[in-house]
Structure 1
Amino acid sequence: MASNRDIEDKAVATALDDVQKAHPDEFAAVLKDPQRKKEFEDAARDAAREVLKLSSGLRPDMAADEIEAYLEKALSKERVQQIKNGLNIPTYQIRLNKKDDGKTWADITRDGEEFMPSRALVSLAAVKDVSWIQIASVIIEAVMLVLSAVGIKLAVDEKVIQKTAQEIVPVVESSSALQKAVDALKEAFKNGSNYDKAKAIFYLIKDSYSAGILWKIIKSLCSNMSTWDWIKTAGIVSAMIIAALATDGVALIAKIVLALNSAYEFVKKVLNLSQLDEMSV
């Protein structure tokens, strides 16, 4: 079994490799400075080390209040609160409403205002189109949770969310692995415990990482940051995921369990997907 030091080293090396592959030009420009490279590596190692530290005392059967108490011993109260709110960073909402014309419409809004034009669900193609848009929101919010889990604060505007959604819909459409992860997520939210739901979100994040979509989302969400800040953010997330995979996702799944307690809108999005599936039959 790999030692903690081996896992940390692999997490740092993978973070360097991931960011270099995803954003070679920006990576090369930023890391010409040896001090910046060291800062990047130190931040990645700290992220991996935190995962390993937290994983040592967590159990799959822990309730949300036990997880919160445990995390508060290891992290600041501000970090714990950020994790609790990690699935409440708004992207957009889709409401399925049967209207006076007898048709079911998908109203797509953000903060109560129209975000995209409403769509009449009068064909299988229309239903599928709305499904992809809803899946995009689910994946974006899962990635936002990851950023919250490692202490990154985000403030994203409407244009950033629109651009991010437009970029990832084609990736989801063409990725059978992501579609299977979304199917597992829907199943977990129908019949599973909070731990099952959190584990399904973890696997969705893992498959987003494997598909390369994670980097598109991070770069887009962090577009208001300096190049150096989002490069470092990508490295931190990569190292955290590598350490999480080496420890069966224990720490990240626990953080997701905590976030699910107040994630009404996220739950609604997943249930929407099941409702849209029923309309496709």
Structure 2
Amino acid sequence: MAEDFKKITEQNSYYNDLEQKSVSELTKIINKEDQTVANAVEKSLSQIETLIKEVVKQVSSGGRLFYIGAGTSGRLGILDASECPPTFGVSDDVVIGLIAGGDQAIRKAVEFAEDNTELGWQDLQAYNIHKGDIVIGIVASGTTPYVLGAIEHCKSHNIPTGCITCNPKSPLAKAVDFPIEVVVGPEVVTGSSRMKAGTAQKMILNMISTALMIKLGRVEGHKMVDMQLSNHKLVNRGVQMIREALKVSEAKAKQLLNQHKSVRQAIANGQKTHQ
């Protein structure tokens, strides 16, 4: 491992004697540290932009976006992937999240799963991954073997790779084509990268998937016109979108939505009728 690589995510907290502090003090400390995360992400915007452009290129050409990680990082990737179909109406095989240890690891840690250098590639192969896809490794430390092994295999198969890590000059950042290094500093609880590092990863994942879906045409103006109508709240939101777009009554908007089962189609057909 390079001599200039230091795990900032493992450095000692700035705060001592946490167990002696009141709840009020603890919440203020955590909030103070959380406020630094957005600034850290801002410093990485050029890296984020570069990776997003590659993701858009691959997915626009029919490829898929894979997130791969372990522990908190893996769960965050799965969360982001799982929210794309209901929010943007895409198939669940456009953005795919993988975690060391499989689906059971979403709820409960699977011992030593992240230490296997071959398991990540095996998990990707189950999806018949190819060079038209793109893989983003999500690892706060930048050293997780499960992800590093998968990335090395991707490189040997000419599959584009990116990463989100919270340590500069990490082995993972050096291994991928499009690294994102967002340095949030030591955690309040030393080494607990589910905190600031996890928050930073979540913010970046929001940017990647949202920008991708906008560029794929899944948003009109600022509206989620392709969202799945999977509950009453979303149906009501869809009705309001149709009302605003077509300047029609609530009853008419409901009728159009019931007829077309899609906000986009309801608006498009409503506009035709009004022409």
TM-score range, shorter chain: under 0.3
Structure ranking higher in helix proportion:
1
Q: Which has the higher contact order (CA 8 A, sep 6+)?
A: 1
Rg larger for: 2
TM, length-normalised to structure 2: 0.27
